[in-house]
């Protein structure tokens, strides 16, 4: 039997549950102070991420809010 591909709702739900189980409050995630901005931001374009990307990147265990993609 083929493994069902997870949809975005399953991915986000799993992420929230894992953060809660680890004792992290996912809606209060944030970056260390010292940056001019604290929202997850594209390093090249300087545009802040929105929506689901904002939530997922905010809870990543990094001190910098700057992100890049492979492309």
Q: Please state the domain extents for the chain.
A: 30-71
Q: Are 67 and 41 in contact (CB under 8 A)?
A: yes
The model's pLDDT over 30-68, given as tens digits with 9 standing for 90+, comes to 555 555 557 888 999 989 888 888 878 887 777 788 888
Helix boundaries (H) for the chain: 8-21, 51-58
Coil, helix or strand at residue 48: strand
pLDDT band, very low/low/confident/very high, at 5 (cuts 50, 70, 90): confident
CA distance 45 to 71: 13
CB 36 within 8 A of CB 4: no
């Amino acid at each position: 039997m083929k493994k069902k591909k997870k949809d975005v709702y399953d991915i986000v739900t799993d992420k929230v549950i894992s953060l809660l189980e680890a004792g992290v409050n996912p809606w209060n995630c944030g970056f260390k102070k010292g940056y001019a901005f604290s929202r997850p931001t594209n390093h090249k374009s300087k545009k802040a991420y929105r929506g689901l990307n904002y939530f997922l990147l905010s809870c990543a265990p990094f001190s910098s809010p700057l992100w890049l993609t492979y492309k």
